[in-house]
Amino acid sequence: MAAADIARQVGEDCRTVPLAGHVGFDSLPDQLVNKSVSQGFCFNILCVGETGLGKSTLMDTLFNTKFEGEPTTHTQPGVQLRSSTYDLQESNVGLKLTIVSTVGFGDQINKEDSYKPIVEFIDAQFEAYLQEELKIRRVLHSYHDSRIHACLYFIAPTGHSLKSLDLVTMKKLDSKVNIIPIIAKSDAISKSELAKFKIKITSELVSNGVQIYQFPTDDESVAEINGTMNAHLPFAVVGSTEEVKIGNKMMRARQYPWGTVQVENEAHCDFVKLREMLIRINMEDLREQTHARHYELYRRCKLEEMGFKDTDPDSKPFSLQETYEAKRNEFLGELQKKEEEMRQMFVQRVKEKEAELKEAEKELHEKFDRLKKLHQEEKKKLEDKKKCLDEEMNAFKQRKAAAELLQSQGSQAGGSQTLKRDKEKKNWQRSGFDAYWPADRGKYRVTM
């Protein structure tokens, strides 16, 4: 039996009891409103687009304020996400607004992985909320929800078709966030080109299977306007914080040499439509879609990865405690298995190291033996050389002693011969023949 039939049958079985007086539960909506207003609301917007498309200017124009921010350059090494949170107050309603902007998107030569930092950032916010949900003591009522509720994707006003970077990025993001495509700086192309550009963008999104956010039409109070606005997607917008006097009124506009583009004039751009759909009518639906669709998909995938399921193969409900115990036992088993593998690996590596050390020790012993043998051989050679030198030295000393003896004997003989010659010379002098004394008297003998 269908759920509608069951509800109809229950409704038929129940009877309406008239109240004798005023009870007061009709004030429950007012209580919810008062409680929500006192707590305040949060809304997070992600602006994705190339540098220079006017993301910061459009945010300032949407909320009619000047947010702090510095202009970025085209020299970023990679895509970075810059998040800023502001507390806004309108009448008695407070809004904690978080604006996340992509810095350096599309500025790199290789744009293949430009979408990855954006996907990782969105998943990080989902993971933070999931971790808060899984805590034993949760404080979700005061937890700052940083999940992205709306993604404004800025398309360059080329007038031709979407870039490959735009298609790939939107395809990666459509299951994680509510994408609202907008044509930035739409005053750069003519009206006829803009109409063709919108049709071209829509057909490319459909042909590539990119699912963008559709304004809900199930609520009768907003079904007509939302259905009409769905046909205007993507919105062609112009942003400006400068006020120009037009007639008797000061209006936000952009002045050109050929004329003025009024931001809030629906004949000039779709800025008013975007503000109505994004903030005034569908802000709560964007929050609900983020929680009920995108976050639930992420949560389901993460829990299935952890081993949790709703039913077993027999379609019986799973017990969370049993699932936890089974997963814990499985984890402990894997841990013990890894520990045993690591122990065996450690033992094996110790054995290999011991074998290496033994081999090194053996090589050292062999080297020591070789060096010792070489040392002994060198020592023997040195001893033999020393013995030879000693023998030569002894022989030299003997020859030296003999030479000295011969020299002494020769010197004695020479001395006696000199005395004899002196005596003969004196004899010659006495006999008067000194003039005839020969110079070589020592060699030759004189005969008379």
The pLDDT value recorded for residue 448 is 39
**3-state DSSP call for residue 47?**
strand
Hey, how many other C-beta atoms are within 10 angstroms of the C-beta on 153?
Answer: 21
Buried b (16+ CB within 10 A) or exposed e, 230-243: eeebbbbbbbbeee
In whole angstroms, give the CA distance from residue 318 to residue 446. Answer: 156
The amino acid occupying position 130 is L
Of 297, 306, 300, 340, nearest in space to 324 by CA? 306
Mean pLDDT over each residue of the chain, to the nearest integer: 85
In whole angstroms, give the CA distance from residue 77 to residue 107. Answer: 8
The answer to whether residue 47 scores a pLDDT higher than 90 is yes
Structure-block tokens of residue 233: 């997607």
Length, in residues, of the chain: 448
The residue ranking higher by pLDDT, 427 or 287, is 287
pLDDT tens-digit readout, 91-140: 889 999 999 999 989 888 888 889 999 999 999 999 999 999 888 888 88
Over residues 281-291, the mean pLDDT reads 94
Q: In this structure, are strands 93-103 and 80-90 parallel, antiparallel, or unpaired? A: antiparallel
Continuous H helices in 294-319 = 296-305
Over residues 43-49, the mean pLDDT reads 95
Over residues 409-415, the mean pLDDT reads 76
Which of left, alpha, beta for 309 (phi over 0: left; psi -120 to 50: alpha)? beta
Structure-block tokens of residue 242: 């400068």
pLDDT tens-digit readout, 215-226: 999 888 889 999
DSSP code, position 16: P
Environment class of 15 (CB within 10 Å of its CB; exposed 0-12, middle 13-18, buried 19+): exposed
Structure-block tokens of residue 123: 């998943």
Q: In this structure, are strands 179-183 and 235-236 parallel, antiparallel, or unpaired? A: parallel
Q: Tell me whether the omega of the peptide bond preceding residue 234 falls within 30 degrees of 0, making it cis.
A: yes
In whole angstroms, give the CA distance from residue 160 to residue 294. Answer: 31
Query: What's the whole-model pTM score?
Result: 0.69
The answer to whether residue 20 scores a pLDDT higher than 90 is no
If pLDDT is split at 50, 70 and 90, which confidence band does 35 have?
confident
Distances (CA, A) of 130 to 85, 113, 133, 382: 21, 26, 5, 87
pLDDT tens-digit readout, 293-323: 999 999 999 888 877 776 666 666 666 667 7
pLDDT tens-digit readout, 201-212: 999 999 999 999
In whole angstroms, give the CA distance from residue 310 to residue 315. Answer: 9
The answer to whether residue 3 scores a pLDDT higher than 50 is no
Residue with structure tokens 């990119």? 210
Cβ atoms of 151 and 48 within 8 Å: the answer is: yes
In whole angstroms, give the CA distance from residue 412 to residue 296. Answer: 134
In whole angstroms, give the CA distance from residue 84 to residue 421. Answer: 134
The answer to whether residue 443 scores a pLDDT higher than 60 is no
**3-state DSSP call for residue 109?**
coil
Name all contacts of 62-68 with Cβ < 8 Å and 24+ positions apart.
62/239, 62/274, 62/275, 62/278, 62/279, 63/88, 63/97, 66/241, 67/99
In whole angstroms, give the CA distance from residue 279 to residue 281. Answer: 6
In whole angstroms, give the CA distance from residue 187 to residue 194. Answer: 9
Structure-block tokens of residue 421: 């010659």
Cβ atoms of 225 and 280 within 8 Å: the answer is: no
